[in-house]
């Protein structure tokens, strides 16, 4: 039985970008009864609860000051792997890493993965994550065949895709219920290797052209953008497409997890664990301008247009190569900004966003573009178009100007009928979110909130910031 809040449970938690944080009472339940106990304690004490997976959302969606934090990560048991139906049944605290390590040998791969393997399925469904195959496979919610959710009053519901609540709980950023069990349909694979095609791209027009040329062919597509490129070099970068492959053996060695592990060293001798310390002195405008340019020129000269095999893990989880890389952004941390824009407006909007950054001398150190498609979820971020994800270093000095820049970029997205992604947000104003999510979806959210969570037990700093926590209205 979980007992009342005690100061000894207090910890400081931040989003992944380390710009927002707060003290919370940490609870890490191991079963559904303990989840219910935490919710009951919140009802009895008048406190609110913030849900947390692995804490990989960049901004403030997984934190809330002075609240109970219900961290699902210890509910991480895989119940079964059905080899006929390709479904995995598991507790929602199972991570993407656990999932691929447990199923690769049977020829399965998670249908959708993020750029890191750390997220839990609960967090992945809270945000409805997308991968480099978003334009064919949609977000992860489209691959869930059943889930259990504990509602704020303690009732447990089992939801399937035909149940209307299914498409609301998934994507609702942990504000409608606690997902505790998931049944996920995996992708069948015949090899742990992909065939990867790298292409050096000179400008924005080239970037969009390659996506269009390959969108009916490639299994994965992603491109890196050098946000320091100007004039005729604006939009330059390196595009990667990848295809699943098939090997002739019945049990190829590429399906063994130990053969997919990321290396411990860089260039064969340099321990990865210390790499972020070397990145830190470069982690400023001048260093990053040089690194981005070097990467672009290397891509033109080395391997351009030459296909090569690469392990699924190495290709998928590029951001896990360097442990603790985010520490290079300390002391101020960083924000990620990702906007989704319909395809007819994306070339203009993204070019203008990057131009605004250059004008403000606040260029993103990393730009990544992907192709997407619309989806039927409540807080959907999918559009028939493209997303551009941008990383910005935050300092005490630049913070105000950076938020002004983000608001100017938001205005472009709203005017173009685009969307935002709550997992990557730190800067939206309530009106930005309302305009992009639509009044119908917003009304449905508040109806569900009133029905399922009338005391607004579930919250987050993001919910308070965006006007999604009705308890704030009564203050």
Binding site for ligand FAD (CB under 6 A): 16, 50-57, 61-62, 72, 92, 114-116, 119-120, 122-124, 126-127, 129-131, 173-174, 178-179, 319, 423, 460
Nearest approach in angstroms of CB 134 to ligand FAD is 8
Q: Which is nearer to ligand FAD, 16 or 255 (CB)?
A: 16
Residue nearest ligand FAD (C-beta atom)? 123
**Residue that the structure tokens 């949609």 belong to:** 138
Per the structure block, which two tokens stand in for 96?
């993407």
Beta-bridge partners for 199: 239
Nearest approach in angstroms of CB 441 to ligand FAD is 17
Distance, CA of 46 to CA of 67 (rounded, Å): 10
Q: Which is nearer to ligand FAD, 179 or 199 (CB)?
A: 179
Comparing CA positions, the residue from 90, 154, 152 lying closest to residue 122 is 90
Nearest approach in angstroms of CB 130 to ligand FAD is 4
**DSSP for residue 322:** S
For residue 138, report the phi and psi dihedrals to the nearest 5 degrees.
65, -165
* 121 close to 90: Cβ distance less than 8 angstroms: yes
Nearest approach in angstroms of CB 123 to ligand FAD is 2
Q: Which is nearer to ligand FAD, 304 or 327 (CB)?
A: 327
Nearest approach in angstroms of CB 232 to ligand FAD is 30
Distance, CA of 134 to CA of 372 (rounded, Å): 5
Going across the sheet that includes 87-91, the strands are 78-82, 87-91, 178-185, 144-150, 156-159
Per the structure block, which two tokens stand in for 109?
């791969």
**Residue that the structure tokens 């409608």 belong to:** 176
| CA 92 remoteness from chain centre | 16
For residue 394, report the phi and psi dihedrals to the nearest 5 degrees.
-110, 130
Nearest approach in angstroms of CB 70 to ligand FAD is 7
Nearest approach in angstroms of CB 141 to ligand FAD is 11
Q: Which is nearer to ligand FAD, 72 or 234 (CB)?
A: 72
Comparing CA positions, the residue from 428, 358, 344, 337 lying closest to residue 386 is 344
* 58 close to 428: Cβ distance less than 8 angstroms: no
* 147 close to 88: Cβ distance less than 8 angstroms: no
Q: Which is nearer to ligand FAD, 127 or 225 (CB)?
A: 127
Q: Which is nearer to ligand FAD, 176 or 435 (CB)?
A: 176
Q: Which is nearer to ligand FAD, 66 or 411 (CB)?
A: 66
Count of beta carbons in the 10 Å neighbourhood of residue 358: 14
Nearest approach in angstroms of CB 3 to ligand FAD is 21
Q: Which is nearer to ligand FAD, 74 or 343 (CB)?
A: 74
Q: Which is nearer to ligand FAD, 255 or 322 (CB)?
A: 322
Nearest approach in angstroms of CB 355 to ligand FAD is 25
Beta-bridge partners for 95: 120
Distance, CA of 219 to CA of 164 (rounded, Å): 30
Nearest approach in angstroms of CB 396 to ligand FAD is 23
Q: Which is nearer to ligand FAD, 62 or 260 (CB)?
A: 62
Comparing CA positions, the residue from 212, 197, 237 lying closest to residue 351 is 237
Comparing CA positions, the residue from 321, 397, 386, 395 lying closest to residue 365 is 395
- What is the SS3 assignment for 263? coil
Nearest approach in angstroms of CB 247 to ligand FAD is 27
Q: Which is nearer to ligand FAD, 130 or 143 (CB)?
A: 130
Per the structure block, which two tokens stand in for 465?
């910031």
**DSSP for residue 189:** -
* 254 close to 311: Cβ distance less than 8 angstroms: yes
């Amino acid at each position: 039985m979980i007992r009342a809040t005690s100061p000894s449970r207090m910890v400081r938690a931040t989003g992944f970008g380390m710009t927002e944080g707060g003290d919370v009472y940490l609870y890490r339940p191991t079963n559904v009864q303990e989840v219910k106990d935490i919710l009951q304690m919140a009802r009895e004490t008048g406190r609110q609860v913030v849900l947390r997976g692995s804490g990989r959302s960049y901004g403030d969606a997984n934190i809330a000051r002075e609240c109970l934090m219900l961290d699902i990560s210890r509910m991480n048991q895989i119940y079964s792997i059905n080899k006929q139906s390709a479904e995995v049944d598991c507790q929602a605290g199972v991570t993407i890493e656990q999932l691929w390590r447990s199923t690769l040998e049977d020829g399965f791969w998670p249908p959708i993965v993020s750029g890191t393997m750390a997220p839990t399925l609960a967090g992945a469904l809270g945000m409805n994550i997308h991968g480099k195959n978003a334009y064919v496979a949609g977000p992860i919610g489209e691959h869930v065949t059943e889930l259990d959710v504990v509602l704020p009053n303690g009732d447990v519901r089992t939801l399937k895709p035909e149940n209307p609540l299914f498409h609301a709980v998934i994507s609702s950023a942990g504000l409608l219920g606690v997902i505790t069990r998931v049944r996920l349909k995996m992708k069948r694979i015949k090899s742990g290797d992909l065939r990867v095609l790298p292409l050096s791209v000179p400008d924005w027009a080239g970037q969009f052209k390659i996506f269009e040329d390959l969108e009916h062919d490639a299994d994965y597509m992603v491109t890196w953008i050098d946000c320091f490129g100007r004039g005729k070099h604006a939009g330059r970068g390196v595009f990667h497409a990848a295809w699943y492959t098939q090997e002739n053996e019945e049990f190829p060695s590429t399906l063994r997890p130990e053969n997919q592990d990321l290396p411990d060293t860089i260039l064969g001798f340099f321990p990865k664990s210390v790499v972020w310390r070397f990145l830190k002195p470069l982690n400023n405008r001048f260093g990053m301008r040089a690194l981005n340019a070097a990467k672009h020129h290397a891509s033109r000269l080395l391997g351009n247009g030459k296909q090569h095999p690469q392990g699924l893990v190495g290709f998928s989880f590029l951001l896990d190569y360097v442990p603790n890389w985010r520490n290079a952004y300390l002391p101020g941390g960083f924000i990620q900004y990702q906007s989704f824009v319909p395809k007819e407006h994306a070339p203009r909007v993204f070019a203008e966003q990057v131009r605004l950054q250059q004008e403000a001398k606040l260029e993103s150190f990393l730009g990544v573009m992907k192709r997407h498609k619309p989806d039927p979820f409540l807080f959907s971020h999918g559009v028939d178009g493209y997303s551009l994800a941008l990383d910005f270093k935050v300092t005490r000095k630049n913070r105000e100007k950076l938020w002004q820049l983000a608001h100017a970029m938001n205005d472009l997205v709203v005017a173009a009928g685009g969307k935002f992604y709550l997992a990557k947000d730190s800067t939206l104003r309530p009106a930005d979110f309302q305009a992009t999510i639509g009044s119908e979806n917003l009304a449905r959210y508040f109806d569900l909130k009133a029905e399922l969570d009338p005391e607004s037990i579930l919250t987050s700093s993001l919910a308070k910031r965006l006007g999604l926590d009705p308890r704030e209205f009564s203050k």
